[in-house]
């Protein structure tokens, strides 16, 4: 049964990587045609420099998610299914970076301006927000419990006081 799970992960990873590379090819070719063919925007460097993180993320996804096969007795056998790239965690953030880069590239083509790359600042802002939420939850757990003064009596609710009173006054009846 474990082999079935590995095969499903390998198949899903291969399909996801195929779609990822196809869309990346279309978006980047569209951007290059706009830059070099239409001369919109005038400078190439913002597109090139700000697309590097996306290319790096695609490389990491490819190298860690691509299934590896070996040929044994004329048949392909799954050697390694690769990491599950559609799961939560770091891979999820890599996909978010890739999608944001594609959005900026398409908007660059539509508006013909490199100013749309300022939208790319969303990524560090999102990371800062996630880290601050993690830090708040971490430091919130470290707070000490409030110290109760020894001289102050404990406050008891009316319901609890009545229950204690009933317990004190209960008598065992005998026949």
Q: Which of 32, 64, 44 is nearest to 114 (CA)?
A: 44
Beta partners for residue 70, in sequence order: 77
- 3-state SS, residue 113: coil
Q: Which of 79, 64, 71 is nearest to 17 (CA)?
A: 64
What ranges make up the beta strands (E) of the chain?
68-72, 75-80
Boundaries of every domain in the chain: 2-117
Q: So what's the pLDDT on residue 159?
A: 85
pLDDT-derived band at 1 (thresholds 50, 70, 90) equals very low
Across 19-23, 104-108, 163-167, least confident range: 163-167
Q: What is the pLDDT of residues 48-101, one digit of tens each?
A: 999 999 999 999 999 999 999 999 888 888 899 899 999 888 999 999 999 999
Q: What is the pTM for the complete model shown?
A: 0.71
Q: What is the pLDDT of residues 106-148, one digit of tens each?
A: 999 999 999 999 998 888 888 899 889 888 888 876 665 555 5
Structure-token pair, residue 31: 């951007």
What is the rounded CA–CA span in Å between residue 13 and residue 9? 6
- 3-state SS, residue 153: coil
Structure-token pair, residue 43: 């400078």
């Amino acid at each position: 049964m474990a082999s079935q799970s590995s095969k499903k992960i390998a198949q899903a990873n291969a399909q996801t990587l195929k779609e990822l590379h196809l869309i990346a090819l279309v978006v980047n070719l569209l951007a290059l045609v706009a830059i070099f063919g239409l001369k919109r925007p005038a400078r190439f460097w913002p597109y090139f420099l700000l697309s590097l993180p996306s290319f790096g993320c695609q490389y990491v996804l490819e190298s860690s998610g691509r299934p590896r096969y070996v040929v044994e007795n004329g048949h392909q056998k799954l050697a390694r299914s690769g990491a599950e790239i559609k799961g939560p965690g770091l891979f999820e953030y890599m996909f978010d970076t890739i999608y944001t880069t594609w959005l900026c590239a398409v908007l660059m083509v539509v508006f013909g301006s490199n100013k749309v790359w300022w939208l790319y600042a969303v990524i560090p802002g999102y990371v800062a927000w996630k880290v601050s939420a993690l830090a708040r939850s971490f430091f919130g757990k470290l707070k000490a419990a409030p110290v109760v003064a020894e001289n102050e009596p404990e406050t008891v609710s009316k319901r609890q006081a009545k229950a204690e009173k009933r317990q004190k006054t209960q008598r065992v009846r005998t026949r």
